[in-house]
A and B are shown apart, each in its own frame.
Chain A
Amino acid sequence: MPRIVVDVMPKPEILDPQGKAIVGALPRLGFTSFSSVRQGKRFELTVDGEVTEAILAQARDAAETLLSNPVIEDVVNVEVVEA
């Protein structure tokens, strides 16, 4: 069954405390090549049947209203992934 993947990231201007903690932990494990980490969220919405334009529009709407908070987050990607 096809899935619609929605990726949500904290807005660039908002300090991401979790990303900051991760970037601090990386060098302690020897991963020294990364200067910054930002942590986002990935949602997978499963669709029974074909993904029509209407269903995709619904996913975009859900991404803006529930899956993200526009004050602190951006929806950076909405795409269909075939199973």
Chain B
Amino acid sequence: MTELPLIGEAVAVAANPRLAGAKIGVVTFPGTLDDRDAARAVRLAGGTAVELWHGDTELGDVDAVVIPGGFSYGDYLRAGAIARFAPLMSRIIDAANSDARLPVLGICNGFQILTESHLLPGSMIKNDHLKFLCRDQVLRVENNTTAWTLDYQAGQEITIPLKNQDGQYIADEKTLDALEAEGRVVFRYVGFNPNGSRRDIAGISNAAGNVVGLMPHPEHATEQGFGPESLDGIGGSDTDGLGFFTSVLTKIVGGDK
């Protein structure tokens, strides 16, 4: 993927030849916005980003997949509803459910696509206050055993950007109870619930922990000088989101936690 020239080269924070061999696919749908940032985050974490197109019928040899944010198909019908039936999504759903348990991360619209795909339970509806909201958001990492959260401490608080209109996570009480009991609430909003999500849920995983979805954007907090801290100084660090990508790379190359 080509980079914006006004931003410097994406240099891996800790260059590691083993990690560079790990290939993370980043899917682009019509209307995807954050695919470049997601690919850049993969490279910053030391991995190799592979461009994937929604119309592809083969997944290739990628070791994990990021479904980035944006407005696939203009959010027509429901956010993520049309993208869910893209040819590549069938491959991703099969690979995520296979014995190989392909790690999949859905960010924002990607999370919406994963719920529409039934890879994750529940759904997102319009924010309770009805407005598009963009802010730096504090999250608590409730589960650091998923493929995408291994590099965080349990209970660690991170600050990453949040920007959406349909961000209110809902599910029936039985599903919510099951998610809590099984430790599948991976992230919770801290201090302020920005959209009315049930039980302050910001992100969840499937039972196996290889599929994770969340509304806030870790890929926008992976580079010194471009993250939440430098913008408004509310604390945290510019690079709180980098752990998502280092986690999955470490998992792929078989490193121990």
Residues on A facing B (Cβ under 8 Å)? 10, 13-15, 17-18, 21, 66-67, 69, 71-72
Contacts and interface: CB of A to CB of B under 8 A. Distances in A.
Closest 7 CB pairs of A and B: A71-B123, A17-B126, A72-B123, A17-B130, A21-B130, A69-B123, A69-B78
A65 to B, nearest CB: 9
Interface of B: 77-78, 81-82, 85, 115-116, 121-123, 125-128, 130, 168, 170-172, 196
Contacts of B168: 17
A66 B85 contact: yes
A35 to B, nearest CB: 19
B130 A18 contact: yes
B170 A66 contact: no
Nearest to B82: A66
A71 B115 contact: yes
B128 A15 contact: yes
A67 B77 contact: yes
A66 B76 CA distance: 12
A66 B130 contact: no
A69 B127 contact: no
A14 B126 CA distance: 11
